Structure 1
Amino acid sequence: MRRWIGFAPLVVLVGLGVLFAGYALKHDPHVQPHALVGKPVPAVTLPDLDTGAMVAVRDAPKGPRLINFFASWCAPCRVEAPQLMALKARGVTVVGVAYKDEPARTQAFLGELGDPFAVKLMDRNGRAGIEFGVTGVPETFLVGADGVILAKHSGPLTDADVEEMLAKLR
């Protein structure tokens, strides 16, 4: 009987390994939570980057728009910048929310890569990110004219992502 007690930790370890391996094989790492899709934009108020005035995200501005969470310290946000500038050139309204960033760094980032945003808001403590369910930057939300979130995209936008999101507005 004493011999089996020595093997007990090994048996437990192997059992846990099988359990975790079984979960990992059934878990899709590409599944992204879209809890807010189909719901109104959260009632969050943030300071405007330029004026410091408090702005309600759901009202900034009215009409169909994209809400893009970004940060100056985010490498994928740099990759996404040309797509956002192209959206601005196409007349798409994009609201930028600087996530857990400093105003001076955000201004420098936009000065370097271009400013695609109709409205620039600061989420210095990440509170709005929590309300939106942001899991990392960049994340973009497509909002319809009625203020309901139609789609969410995590990661840098590509041409295909932009076309797919804009098709949902039509």
Structure 2
Amino acid sequence: MNRRLGELIPATVTSCVSAVLANGEVPLLLGGDHRLSYSSLQAVNSHVDLSQVHQWDAHHDHHQSLTLNNYSVFHFAQSRLGMNIFRHGLREDGAPPAQIPERPEKHVYVSIDADYLDPQDFASVSYPLPVKPSMRCDIETLLSEVEEVGRNFEVIGGDVVEWCGHRATEKEKEIVRRLVQGVVDCIGK
């Protein structure tokens, strides 16, 4: 049964996101891991010409793998869906170089992994990575960058994933509330 659920859940997410898009609404997934991002990207890609994803994440999640998992999701998005991935806050080594889009994009998808945030201020994630001294990966920087993307593009979907809410402090819960509100505001433009 567990293996079957592993097939049904992504298909259900893709179907639900497709229904939201067919209704003329913008999907925003909250919770889970990046495997859900891929299901959402599949649905969005079938409804509009999408080739650009903005990813805020400490990890590139672009590892080559025979099967889709949360470590390979953006490899699959790039190789199977033809999407260009723009990374913000990346601290893991080994990411492929970003490609320059051949044409200006109108639509973008935003994907935010909570481990983008500096673990000194936000530790309720599974795989924290320290922030390099030359980087700022705080909620203010994240909200500013998301707002900038929303000003320049039509955000047609998004997700906020990889947050471990069960071990969050009150301060971290407030950061997540601000983050979700910032993404909603970006989508609502």
Q: TM-score, normalised by structure 1?
A: 0.31
Q: Which has the higher strand share?
A: 1
Q: TM-score, normalised by structure 2?
A: 0.28
